[in-house]
Amino acid sequence: MRLDKFLCELNVGTRSQVKAYLKQGLVTVNGSVVKKPDEKVNESSDTVTFKGRLLKYQPFVYYMLNKPKGVVSATQDNTCKTVLDLIESDRKKNLFPVGRLDKDTEGLLLITNDGELAHNMLSPKKHVDKTYLVGIAHDLKSDDIQALEKGVDIGEDKLTLPAKVKVLSEKEILLTIHEGKFHQVKRMLQAVSNEVVALKRVTFGALTLDDNLKTGEYRELTLEEIGELHADGY
């Protein structure tokens, strides 16, 4: 891999910034200062430092995004802004959202280039928990809660898997589901004669939406969060 590409992929700077750093002699490869951007490095075995700090190449990147309404969960779209349009990174080329949130749904979305992890998290066999903060048209009766927690008919071959319901107020609940069917939360509430008026995902597997992330903002996952994802078998 070219040295300038290596440095950009590790977010040392933009391509022009990296070239300036190289000219200043701030980068070493295997202990020697290298100033040529096109110098070839082996990302697995060569030792690269920037300002004396060891740089470790990571083939995968992971971002937590607080998705806003009106943005589609896709890599590209001819008419609407996509979640990738919100990501500013030199490593955007192979990024994609893990699963999807409806255009009018907010909240936690994982963006990565780790195809294996994405496949495992979306596998129906894994039954990965997803918790939503749901604004509803009117309060849920006890029979409604029991129905949701047992499984309801949303027009599929089988009832939904048992969900978990936590009532926060007359018009707001936390709903945890283990599937990812089309418009599932909306269809589940319709099945108990209610309606979703606001929807925000707050957990996805081992991930919990960072309270410090404003709508439309994102951050890289911490090493601990990445470790928890892989520890869960994803």
Q: Which are the catalytic amino acids?
A: 102
Element (H, E) at 17: helix 15-23
Element (H, E) at 223: helix 223-231
C-alpha closest to that of 63 among 27, 30, 98? 98
**Which amino acid, residue 214?**
K
CB atoms within 10 A of CB 148: 23
**Cα 176 from chain centre:** 18
d(CA 52, CA 67): 37
Partnered with residue 12 across adjacent β-strands are: none
d(CA 1, CA 46): 11
The DSSP-derived string for 104-150 is T-EEEEEEES-HHHHHHHH-TTT---EEEEEEESSPPPHHHHHHHHH
Check if the beta carbon of residue 54 is closer than 8 Å to that of residue 19: no
C-alpha closest to that of 123 among 1, 233, 5? 233
CB atoms within 10 A of CB 192: 16
